[in-house]
Structure 1
């Protein structure tokens, strides 16, 4: 048997990613503010990690990253994507009382902003502050604190400087449009729970980097080229719209899966998304991932998300003709003070390692336009036709 044939026959190995590396990397990423539109330093950090694993990468003009892991063949190749950007806020106005009117960056509720410690990035310096309801003093407003409507118009940012008028804010150099980053406040318990803001999707990024580390350390032979993508604008909708190239036939998105009443997702395994608000994910790629979980004993669930979209949606909306799927780590209180468990991150890493060792979902995907011969079937019994 030739070396090439031996590589082709190599069975899929179930790999446990380095969870200590995941925790370390996650904490370092969380310490880097990266609301959508303010992601350069998170990009630089991620590129340094890729360099440590000897991976070639390129970045787009705005900072999306595409790293390359070479396989036995180059086409039809695949991609795995996670996003570096998080939710945040921006200065909308300078108020006469010396506080700041703010608006969200990304979609999240002002309920989760109340009480948050933040950093304001002005043109010249940084300031600390706290997001508070406009009626924040219980000793003054009594029950009005409880009845205040939950809306961004009813919160304001108190700056930790001598700022008691609009002119004071002007003197500090604070401007409309200044970015505001929300403190993550990470905490990892002895029981394996990770509590923090911005686990979406920095936990996913940490897992994807751990997968790259595993490929390097275990010297895994990949059947086809795999691109690791890190996007910078998923929270505002454009995500993976500008980092793919025409050769990619299938893409797996990594993101948070909401743990909540009515959802199947939990915090102790990987969740395969079947559909989100943008529509169903690719049947064949999705079921391939489900079967990999079954074959390799990976704890998993399936779920459908109503108020949710990922990098997959932006890739398709940009005109890419690719199969897409969604893999999630389970997280409670998404876009709030989130919580996930190490076991979910471990299961996600196991599945990704199995996936990158697997053969392409369909050999027919090598064609952008091709014959019917070799095209996929669905499990519909007598309705199937011969090629």
Structure 2
């Protein structure tokens, strides 16, 4: 668990909204290599790692890209209007600190604020819409007009990356932006480490496939290992009204917005969780899509499933728990040891 948490902290510290994933891809490759594996990178930037084993090849997929923003306009006052990347919601990133990463390599600090955000000045503050059209990045530089910002080297199309604010409480809660899905990537690194350290025997061939465009819908749409027969997306488990999962559980998804997951795969996951006496829930996610869905939509002939540690407040400041991590890791270990 210490290794997984250390990896999570390292991963969340690397800015990686969809389309800006070079640094985090390099880091992930290095971590697999340090464990003795031989990962390779696809043309799109995904990381593929063969964990070993023979027969009935299985892909365990997670994504390393996150939500974020992009400069859409330098306003007359020198501040920035942004457009969201993925499902970033203006309501839950107001007043968040961020970094503007220019294509020349310069990085500037800023904060997302409402237009005219002082309640001592603006008596309509509470009534205003929270949309990116009504908000702006206030740059922490001496800028007063558009040309000042342009002189800094900031341009339309530059990426805006929000602070993750990762913290682990004494009670075991894990709080951060982008647990979706860097927590799962850390878990898969932990699984790869366990296979090496514990000399665990695989009863089937297992690949890890780390994608970089999941948040915009095409993470696992291409370059999957050709011999694969099955894919399990290891992503966040949903928590909310009408669902059974909590942060301490591993969630097994039976159906999401795209339809039901493979009956055999889902049933086998449930049986493994039952036999391992894990704390788990089976849920239907009302508004969700995974890399496993993307693979099938792209035409891959695969059985598919979806699991993940329970994550509260998705696409905002998210929360999970060390117990959810343990249950997810254990379910993966039990599943890959079954033929």
The TM-score bracket by the shorter chain reads over 0.9
Which residue in 1 is equivalent to 2:239?
Answer: 259
Q: Distance in 1 between matches of 2:175 and 2:76?
A: 36
Q: Distance in 2 between matches of 1:302 and 1:164?
A: 53
Q: Is the 8 A contact 2:248 2:321 kept in 1?
A: yes
Q: How does 1:52-63 map to 2 (within 5 A)?
A: 52-63=34-45
The superposition leaves residues 318-371 of structure 1 with CA deviations (integer Å, 9 ceiling, x where unpaired) of 110101100011111110011110100110000001111110xxxxxxxxxxxx
- Cα deviation, residue 24, structure 1: 0.5
Q: Match of 1:128, SS?
A: strand
Question: Is 2:283 the counterpart of 1:303?
Answer: yes
Which residue in 1 is equivalent to 2:48?
Answer: 66
Q: Match of 2:78, SS?
A: coil
Find the partner of 2:206 among 226, 236, 259.
Answer: 226
Which residue in 1 is equivalent to 2:30?
Answer: 48
- Cα deviation, residue 245, structure 1: 2.7
Find the partner of 1:139 among 86, 104, 120.
Answer: 120
TM-score in terms of structure 1 length: 0.86
Q: Distance in 1 between matches of 2:326 and 2:125?
A: 42
Which residue in 2 is equivalent to 1:176?
Answer: 156
- Cα deviation, residue 82, structure 1: 0.5
**Aligned pairs, number:** 338
Structure 2 runs not aligned, ≥5 long? none
Q: Distance in 2 between matches of 1:294 and 1:76?
A: 23
Q: Distance in 1 between matches of 2:29 and 2:140?
A: 34
Which residue in 2 is equivalent to 1:130?
Answer: 111
- Cα deviation, residue 154, structure 1: 1.0
Q: Distance in 2 between matches of 1:257 and 1:93?
A: 35
Larger-gyration structure (1/2): 1
- Cα deviation, residue 123, structure 1: 2.3
Question: Is 2:306 the counterpart of 1:326?
Answer: yes
Q: Distance in 1 between matches of 2:325 and 2:56?
A: 28
The superposition leaves residues 283-312 of structure 1 with CA deviations (integer Å, 9 ceiling, x where unpaired) of 000110000011111111001111110101
Which residue in 1 is equivalent to 2:195?
Answer: 215
Q: Is the 8 A contact 1:229 1:243 kept in 2?
A: no
Q: Match of 1:138, SS?
A: coil
Find the partner of 1:153 among 110, 133, 140.
Answer: 133
TM-score in terms of structure 2 length: 0.98
The superposition leaves residues 219-244 of structure 1 with CA deviations (integer Å, 9 ceiling, x where unpaired) of 11111110011000000000111131
Find the partner of 1:36 among 18, 35, 53.
Answer: 18
Which residue in 2 is equivalent to 1:278?
Answer: 258
Q: Distance in 1 between matches of 2:238 and 2:143?
A: 39
Q: How does 1:194-213 map to 2 (within 5 A)?
A: 194-213=174-193
Question: Is 2:23 the counterpart of 1:20?
Answer: no
Q: Spell out structure 1 runs of 4+ moving beyond 6 A.
A: none
Q: Distance in 1 between matches of 2:260 and 2:209?
A: 22
Which residue in 2 is equivalent to 1:356?
Answer: 336
Q: How does 1:288-299 map to 2 (within 5 A)?
A: 288-299=268-279
CA RMSD of aligned residues (A): 0.9
The superposition leaves residues 147-166 of structure 1 with CA deviations (integer Å, 9 ceiling, x where unpaired) of 00121111110000011111
The superposition leaves residues 47-66 of structure 1 with CA deviations (integer Å, 9 ceiling, x where unpaired) of 11111211121111121011
Q: More displaced, 48-57 or 226-235? A: 48-57
Q: Is the 8 A contact 2:47 2:209 kept in 1?
A: yes
Find the partner of 1:336 among 307, 313, 316.
Answer: 316
Q: Match of 1:223, SS?
A: coil
